[in-house]
Structure 1
Amino acid sequence: MKKKSIICLFAVVLCLAMILTGCGTAQNNAGQKKLKVGFVYIGTANEPGYTYAHEQGRLYAQEKLGNKVEFVVQENVSDTDDSIVSVIQSMIEQGCKMIFANSYGYMDYMYDMAEEYPDVIFLHCSGSKSRENMLNYFGRMYQARYLSGIVAGMKTETNKIGYVAAHPIPEVIRGINAFTLGVRSVNPDATVEVVWTSTWYDPSLEKAAAISLLDKGCDVIAQHQDTTGPQIAAQERGKWCIGYNCDTSDIVPDAFLTAPIWNWGPYYTEQIQKVLDGTWKSENYWGGMEDGVVALAPLKNAPEGAQEKVDEMAQKIISGEFKVFQGPIKDQNGNVRVPEGTVMTDEELLSFNWFVEGVIGTIPED
């Protein structure tokens, strides 16, 4: 009996040891805390548009980084008030150590919060303010807009092209100008008329703005908006459209020509991995077509010769042989703003407040 007792006791001890070992392993696995990363979006991620493109980038990062990261996402956060403050505070309370936010209007709030929370990393899309724990990131979308302008300029029959624009900030003005330069590089007689909506996301208002341009004889509609409203208006009228943010040819197949599009996945993955590796630094980013962060969607319903011209200019942009804002460039009043042989600096591009020749419209005070 005594021998059996010793054997039983040994078995119990062995089992306990195995259980404790197992628990220890589980604790180690669980103890490897995931990096919590927050994403704040101006719009909704389930409709093709600006926020949708960012969400596709986040999903790409999620796939690449696997179980190293846990994401917290908040959609439809206004940038016209301090809504983002409570959202970010909530994310920090949930343990987020890294927060991305995708609207220009968030900038000042994030800048202040970066000072308040020095141990949290802030990444702001499209702004201009930075700190040791806050950077700005964006892409040279004007490169793809120039290419889309080539397509529009070759497609128009009325030489009247409409542009539905959001807010009169340098980013939007820069895009309108690049698009117009692309249009007039192949069609000097064409003009681009701008209508402002003073909103990023309002499908009905954006559609109405496009309709007002179609009523004036515009047969191609371009946009800097977050919805497909302008594109739908063009299709319903039997005209053409240039999209934005992502390829929406499946939504407006009869009207779609192309679209300047975003590819945020590699950048998001890289930045998060740097935090995981302990190598992250506050370094502002403004990448171009050579990085793949901006591109042009495949051409549909395009005029003859457009693909060849786009390919030619895209290669020159990527190689650096051609700069979109190289002189000579005149403003809409005919004054030379960029002399021949010079190229606008990044500082000038980031503070754009005038229209190039060929644009019809004014820049209001936002």
Structure 2
Amino acid sequence: MKKFLSILLAAVLVCTLAACGGETPAPSSADAPASDAPADESAAPADDAAASDMNMSAAFVTVQPLGDPTIDLCYAGFTKAVEEFGFEKTTVVEAKAGEYEENFRALCEEGYGLIIANMPELQEAVGRVAPDYPDTKFMIALGEAAGDNVISTWNIEQYGTYITGVYAGLMTKTNKVAFLGGVDNDQLGRVGGGFIDGVKASNPDCEVEVLFVGSFTDPTKGKEMASLLYNEGCDIIFQACAQSGLGVFEIAKELGEGHNIIGIDVDQNGNIPGQVIGSFVTPYDQWVYEAMKEYAEGKFEGRVIYRSVAEGTTLKMATDYIDVPQEVIDAVDEATQKVLNGEVEPSDTIKKA
């Protein structure tokens, strides 16, 4: 737990495309040549001169297509920074498995100054490529690759999903909820592990079903599996399956009241008002934007940044759309405070029965 607290306190801004270039110190009077001519007041300021030397080009690399809510969130941070800081050349690359390293090397050879890599599948390729291109900067929206020219952000999801589980355990009417993931990987182990621990903390008698779609991009399969879970009596599904989750929303809307969802990454509470009872949100857009801002300001510093509840990766209850009992709100607030105080240590894996 001490490690977690230190991680929270050490967290730093991480996510964006930014502007202007670092400051260039003015020459001292000893360095400047003597001249009787008056100063040229039209000369560009030092910051503008530095900015002109910046490689203001950026690439957005993803393993999942745009249209996926999480990738769209990262891309929103990317486009905001591009517009705000004047990146002149940009591209979007949907990388295919087996071609990640090749994709990154091609972008480096094309001269892109900053490469934003989205999702942990890309971190190994970044770790191999980055040392060969020290003048190219990399930002990984979810990864732990280290290097002087790499900013990695790592989300410790289990603390925020623990709070989400506490909420689900108190909101269920059937005493049966579900976690539906895209694929069974380490990240969703953290997401699901924390959720299950939270449910059991607030409602020990509640059953938690766990299923995986097997894909992040199959809404049809997501719909089938969600239908199965609802038919088995689950009245809340915490879906963490990217585009496959679109199928969860589709079947919940068809079935109507009593078939509820908890969204992920983005605020999905208004997607089906009254049935999306909350969302586990993660500000990926801010993390991308902030990293790009560092780059544009000439302040890019390679490091791994760990983030969790204190940095905004937590539950957002749908209080604008449903009536959440005050005792539930109080319990969620208490769980949040316990997490921040280091009083709980949720599991980072899904415990097999």
TM-score by length of 1: 0.73
Is the alpha carbon distance of 1:70 and 1:164 closer, same or farther for their aligned partners in structure 2, counting shifts above 3 Å? farther
Deviations along 1:303-357, one digit per CA (max 9) or x if unpaired, are: 423223223332443xx3144416xxxxxxxxxxxxxxxxxxxxxx7xx4551xx
2:181–2:240: 8 Å Cα contact kept in structure 1? yes
**Which amino acid counterpart does residue 162 of structure 1 have in structure 2?**
A
Deviations along 1:207-232, one digit per CA (max 9) or x if unpaired, are: 22211211221111111111332233
Q: Which of 107, 117, 122 is the matching residue for 1:91?
A: 107
- Correspondence for 2:74: 54
- Correspondence for 2:202: 186
Identity of aligned residues (%): 22
- Correspondence for 2:60: 39
Deviations along 1:263-319, one digit per CA (max 9) or x if unpaired, are: 134433332333344443321111122223x233342435423223223332443xx
Is the alpha carbon distance of 1:354 and 1:266 closer, same or farther for their aligned partners in structure 2, counting shifts above 3 Å? closer
Is the alpha carbon distance of 1:302 and 1:188 closer, same or farther for their aligned partners in structure 2, counting shifts above 3 Å? farther
In the alignment, the residues of structure 2 paired with residue 302 and residue 256 of structure 1 have an alpha-carbon distance, to the nearest angstrom, of 12
SS in 1 for 2:170: helix
Aligned: 1:297 with 2:316: yes
Deviations along 1:173-231, one digit per CA (max 9) or x if unpaired, are: 11111111221222111121111122222211222221121122111111111133223
**Which amino acid counterpart does residue 160 of structure 1 have in structure 2?**
K
TM-score by length of 2: 0.75
**Which amino acid counterpart does residue 314 of structure 2 have in structure 1?**
A
CA positional deviation for 1:246: 0.8
In the alignment, the residues of structure 1 paired with residue 163 and residue 132 of structure 2 have an alpha-carbon distance, to the nearest angstrom, of 42
Which range is displaced more, 179-188 or 69-78?
A: 69-78
In the alignment, the residues of structure 2 paired with residue 171 and residue 203 of structure 1 have an alpha-carbon distance, to the nearest angstrom, of 20
Once the two structures are superposed, the pairs formed by residues 109-258 of structure 1 within 5 Å of their partners are 109-227=125-243, 228-238=246-256, 239-258=259-278
In the alignment, the residues of structure 1 paired with residue 118 and residue 51 of structure 2 have an alpha-carbon distance, to the nearest angstrom, of 31
1:167–1:200: 8 Å Cα contact kept in structure 2? yes
**Which amino acid counterpart does residue 281 of structure 1 have in structure 2?**
E
Gaps of 5+ in 1: 1-21, 327-348, 356-360
- Correspondence for 2:328: 306
2:280–2:316: 8 Å Cα contact kept in structure 1? yes
**Which amino acid counterpart does residue 108 of structure 2 have in structure 1?**
I
Q: How many residues are paired up?
A: 302
Which range is displaced more, 271-280 or 159-168?
A: 271-280
**Which amino acid counterpart does residue 143 of structure 2 have in structure 1?**
G
Deviations along 1:117-157, one digit per CA (max 9) or x if unpaired, are: 23222222333332333342122332322222122111212
Is the alpha carbon distance of 1:115 and 1:29 closer, same or farther for their aligned partners in structure 2, counting shifts above 3 Å? closer
SS in 1 for 2:64: coil
Larger radius of gyration: 1
SS in 1 for 2:264: coil
SS in 1 for 2:334: helix
**Which amino acid counterpart does residue 269 of structure 1 have in structure 2?**
Y
- Correspondence for 2:35: none
**Which amino acid counterpart does residue 301 of structure 1 have in structure 2?**
I
Is the alpha carbon distance of 1:288 and 1:353 closer, same or farther for their aligned partners in structure 2, counting shifts above 3 Å? closer
With a CA cutoff of 8 Å and minimum separation of 6, indicate the structure with the bigger relative contact order.
2
CA positional deviation for 1:163: 1.4
C-alpha RMSD of the superposition: 2.9
In the alignment, the residues of structure 2 paired with residue 71 and residue 152 of structure 1 have an alpha-carbon distance, to the nearest angstrom, of 45
Deviations along 1:56-78, one digit per CA (max 9) or x if unpaired, are: 22234345x422x3462425433
Is the alpha carbon distance of 1:232 and 1:76 closer, same or farther for their aligned partners in structure 2, counting shifts above 3 Å? farther
**Which amino acid counterpart does residue 45 of structure 1 have in structure 2?**
L
1:223–1:230: 8 Å Cα contact kept in structure 2? yes
2:169–2:206: 8 Å Cα contact kept in structure 1? yes
